[in-house]
Amino acid sequence: MKTNLRFQRTRREEGRALLVPRILGISLCALALALPAAALDPAAFLAADGRLDLDAARASGASGTVALDGWAARIDPLSGEPLLRAAGGARDEESRWSGEFGWPGVNEAVQALALYQGDLIAAGAFHTAGDILVRYIARWDGSRWHPLGAGLNSLVYALAVYDGELIVGGAFSQAGGSAAANIAAWNGTSWRPLGSGAGDRILSLHVH
């Protein structure tokens, strides 16, 4: 995919202008965490026990960021499978989505979820998922976790799917062991940088 990269000025912070790239139809914002308006509703793909029905998601062709505002999330301690339920009541306060959440079996916070190529992608501040070394991003295939190549070398804050690729934004300098300034694309088998990247961390991705 040929990528055209251009920059636009946003606000000034500490006397310097922040540059925010616009890559084709994807707006990258380094200012505030937000989910795209078109994010997928997980209720459409949940089984009665809270497990994400990947077969249903695959059959529907669903792809993109999973909206988790108002949902409680955890991992089944026996199977390692991600579970979701509508948040409500005091018992859900700690696991309610508020920009990040923790899962047993994932050693640090999860910042974003997406459906990509029929699997669930989780990304955030974690290094391991289900005892697998994954480096800040992992793929759940319905039965186990997998790394995405060599992963990233630091935090991931946002995911989006665009033109057949998984777009990843965060505060990293490498993707798959190669230089990538805060934004990179995964095509299902390998990583690539998007142009010269972004000069600041990326906290949200929007597909227009």
Q: Tell me which residue range forms the domain holding 176.
A: 5-207
Backbone torsion region of residue 144, taken as left when φ is above 0, otherwise alpha when ψ lies between -120 and 50, otherwise beta:
beta
Q: Which amino acid is at 145?
A: W
Summarised one tens digit per residue, pLDDT across range 9-51 is 233 333 333 333 444 334 444 433 333 446 777 777 777 777 7
Q: How many residues does the chain have?
A: 208
Summarised one tens digit per residue, pLDDT across range 121-168 is 989 888 888 788 999 999 988 888 899 999 999 999 999 998 899 999
Q: What is the mean pLDDT of residues 189-198?
A: 94
Q: What is the mean pLDDT of residues 169-179?
A: 96
Comparing C-alpha atoms, which of 54, 90, 84 is closest to residue 67?
84
pLDDT of residue 5: 32
Q: Is the pLDDT of residue 64 over 50?
A: yes
Q: Is the pLDDT of residue 176 over 60?
A: yes
Nearest 10 degrees: Cα torsion 34, 38, 41, 42: -70
Number of neighbours of residue 2 by Cβ within 10 angstroms: 4
Please provide the average confidence, as pLDDT, over all residues in the chain.
72
Distance CA 19, CA 53 (A): 39
| Total domain count, the chain | 1
Q: Is the pLDDT of residue 62 over 90?
A: no
pLDDT of residue 171: 96
Comparing C-alpha atoms, which of 75, 73, 150 is closest to residue 107?
75
Q: Is the pLDDT of residue 3 over 70?
A: no
